[in-house]
Amino acid sequence: MKHDTTKNAETGDVAAPCCRQRRDAVKAVMVATVMMGSGMRTVSAQPDAADAPPQPGDRLVSMDSEGAPVALRVSDIPLTSKPVRAQPFVPAEKMVRDGSRLSRVILMRFDPASLDAETRARSADGVLAYSAVCTHQGCEVSEWDASGGAMFCFCHFSKFDPLKSGEVTAGPAGRRLPWLPLKSDNGELVVAGEFSSTPGVRKS
């Protein structure tokens, strides 16, 4: 399925309108698939919901915990430590958006006082969310280099600075890691917008 329908700025203090067109494209593909009768999971009302990228208002759930999904809280994210892998969650429908790897995020928490104003504004009390998919060859950005202060990908060692909007600080990646704005609702992590740019590998 084609995701990259809109070019958008690498940075910018508002979430670029990258995803609406893409959602529509995704939806069109989904509808077509359903009509062809292949084994699609049925999700109430919105056939594309589980495959959709994170939406404003979504909660986040850990990918590495067992049992029923529980919305993550600011206090669940350890301070300046290995990122927590998470997926968007729609509480009303008890649905995890797990249909696409490109929806996955990594969460890290910093002392809000250590963040610049712009970064702090899109954090939930110091918790920052980035795409979990490396912009180099699509592997998982899952590791934390404590000495270098960088999130990094085990596949080819691309490193990204969480305090500088996911800027590439080392390795073969050519493009920063997209960020996802968050806010806190009484301590619960809430998605506050769309990815800053298209997650994943840009093919050309």
**Which residues of the chain form contacts with another protein (CB under 8 A)?**
1-4, 63, 100-102, 133, 137-140, 142-143, 154-157, 172, 200-201, 203
Give the integer Cα–Cα distance in Å for 26 and 32.
10
Q: Which CB sits closer to another protein, 80 or 157?
A: 157
3-state class (DSSP) for residue 76: helix
By beta-carbon proximity to another protein, the closer residue of 100 and 123 is 100
Kindly state the tokens that stand for 114: 């250590």
How far apart, in whole angstroms, are the C-alpha atoms of residue 91 and residue 105?
17
Tell the smallest beta-carbon distance from residue 12 to another protein (Å). 22
CB of 200 to another protein, least distance (A): 5
The least CB distance from residue 143 to another protein, in Å, is 6
User: Where is 19: in which H helix or E strand?
Assistant: helix 19-35
Bridge partner residues of 52 (DSSP): none
Q: How far is the CB of 65 from another protein (least distance, A)?
A: 11
**Minimum Å distance from CB 131 to another protein?**
12
The smaller minimum CB distance to another protein, of residues 7 and 116, is found at: 7
Give 152's strand partners.
Answer: 143, 159
Q: Which helix (H) or strand (E) holds 24?
A: helix 19-35
Largest Cα separation within the chain, whole Å, is 53
Nearer to another protein, 53 or 162 (CB): 53
Query: Which of 145, 105, 134 is CA-nearest to residue 122?
Result: 105
Nearer to another protein, 40 or 201 (CB): 201
Give yes or no for a contact between 52 and 43, defined as CB atoms under 8 angstroms apart. Answer: no
Nearer to another protein, 49 or 141 (CB): 141
Amino acid at 63: M
105-109 vs 127-131, strand pairing mode: antiparallel
